[in-house]
């Protein structure tokens, strides 16, 4: 999927050359050919800008993410349970314990970041720490640790940075030129007998190309996030051997995951994006919680049990004027036994012994 980003860079560069060609007095087709001819000279400039953006992100990504999200690094003395749980999970996989940080908000969420395994970091919210029990917190931390182990955290940062380049270029073209360029090119084309209407048409094509690149960059970034959430859930089950806790953790954060004011580039990295998991599937940053839970029940033998929030979480949510609703529909019905076809497998995949080697 990352192969699509160079295509988007070419599209947004072409949009700029179309606008540059629209300043001339040539007709539409002459300006169209001129914009194509300018691409070889414009693309190296675009590549240099993208590389500078990447360099800044590589060396300062964690500081930028912390500043935008409002995260604060914590020590073992400040958050002993968080540190001990994460350290035990990291040791079990031969990994360095990631840097840990906390966001002081009642929202229930978490994310992993870092460009390398040694730079890995896990950030959780205060609401998540208050709401989850130790087994559920362990499952969530295993989910985020899997993101780091699989390179998803690095991919998320790269996708956010590259998509940011495209988004900034698209927004600049659409917002900055949608009015002024149309008025300017309308005056230019009206005074030209040979290129009447050509400049205005070029501007419209440029805006259409920029809008296409902008939309595709958002859809591509969201697809990168969606495809890896199922893998991280599976990795958490493999690491903890406790699919039930992963399910109850997801149930608890349902309806309480929205991070107010967080940019879309960071929302794609969250455990769950409460603000942008609805609407068209292509533009959702995450699969729905129901879909993730259904996969855990079907493939890992998890039980979909309605969780109970601890009094501390209820008090904190009430203090922040957040009303917490439990979902009674999530509780399994005892009146009607499940059919054999819908029952989870007797031995889930994560408990099955390895297959014997083939004879011969």
Residues 198 and 82 in one domain: no
Mean pLDDT by 10 residues, the chain (360 residues): 74 84 73 87 88 81 87 95 96 93 95 87 96 96 94 76 68 58 50 57 83 76 72 93 95 89 79 64 73 92 76 50 40 44 52 58
Adjacent-strand bridge partners of 110: 124
Residues 200 and 127 in one domain: no
pLDDT of residue 83: 96
Residues 146 and 163 in one domain: no
Q: 80: buried, middle or exposed (CB in 10 Å: 19+, 13-18, 0-12)?
A: exposed
Residues 215 and 232 in one domain: no
Show which residues are catalytic: 144
pLDDT of residue 26: 61
List the beta strands (DSSP E) in the chain: 71-73, 99-103, 110-113, 121-125
Helix spans in 178-242 (H)? 180-190, 198-240
The whole domain housing 193 covers: 4-64+154-219
Residues 144 and 256 in one domain: yes
**Of the residues 219, 241, 271, the one at which a domain ends:** 219
Q: Are 170 and 217 in contact (CB under 8 A)?
A: yes
Residues 215 and 231 in one domain: no
Total domain count, the chain? 2
Q: Which of 211, 325, 208, 222 is nearest to 269 (CA)?
A: 222
Adjacent-strand bridge partners of 122: 100, 112
């Amino acid at each position: 999927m990352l192969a699509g980003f160079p295509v988007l860079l070419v599209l947004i560069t072409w949009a700029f050359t179309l606008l540059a060609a629209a300043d001339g007095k040539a007709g539409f087709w002459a300006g169209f050919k001129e914009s194509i001819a300018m691409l070889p000279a414009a693309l190296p400039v675009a590549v240099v800008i993208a590389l500078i953006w990447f360099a800044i992100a590589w060396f300062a990504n964690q500081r930028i993410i912390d500043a935008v999200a409002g995260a604060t690094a914590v020590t073992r003395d400040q958050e002993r349970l968080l540190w001990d749980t994460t350290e035990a999970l990291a040791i079990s996989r031969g990994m360095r314990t990631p840097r840990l940080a906390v966001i002081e908000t009642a929202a229930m969420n978490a994310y992993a970041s870092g460009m390398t395994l040694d730079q890995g970091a896990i950030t959780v919210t205060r609401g998540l720490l208050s709401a989850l029990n130790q087994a559920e917190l362990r499952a969530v931390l295993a989910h985020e640790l899997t993101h780091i182990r699989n390179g998803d955290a690095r991919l998320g940062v790269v996708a956010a940075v590259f998509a940011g380049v495209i988004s900034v270029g698209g927004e600049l073209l659409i917002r900055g030129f949608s009015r002024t360029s149309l008025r300017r090119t309308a005056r230019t084309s009206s005074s030209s007998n040979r290129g009447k209407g050509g400049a205005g048409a070029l501007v419209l094509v440029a805006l259409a190309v920029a809008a296409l690149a902008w939309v595709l960059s958002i859809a591509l970034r969201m697809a990168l996030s969606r495809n890896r959430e199922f893998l991280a859930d599976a990795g958490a089950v493999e690491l903890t051997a406790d699919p039930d806790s992963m399910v109850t953790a997801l149930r608890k954060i349902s309806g309480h995951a929205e991070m107010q004011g967080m940019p879309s580039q960071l929302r794609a990295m969250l455990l769950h994006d409460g603000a942008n998991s609805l609407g068209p599937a292509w533009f959702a940053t995450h699969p729905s919680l129901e879909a993730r839970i259904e996969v855990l029940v079907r493939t890992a033998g998890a039980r979909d049990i309605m969780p109970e929030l601890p009094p501390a979480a209820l008090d904190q949510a009430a203090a922040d004027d957040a009303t917490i609703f439990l979902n009674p529909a999530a509780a399994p019905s005892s009146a009607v036994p499940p059919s054999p076809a819908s029952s989870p497998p007797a031995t889930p995949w994560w408990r099955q012994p390895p297959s014997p080697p083939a004879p011969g």
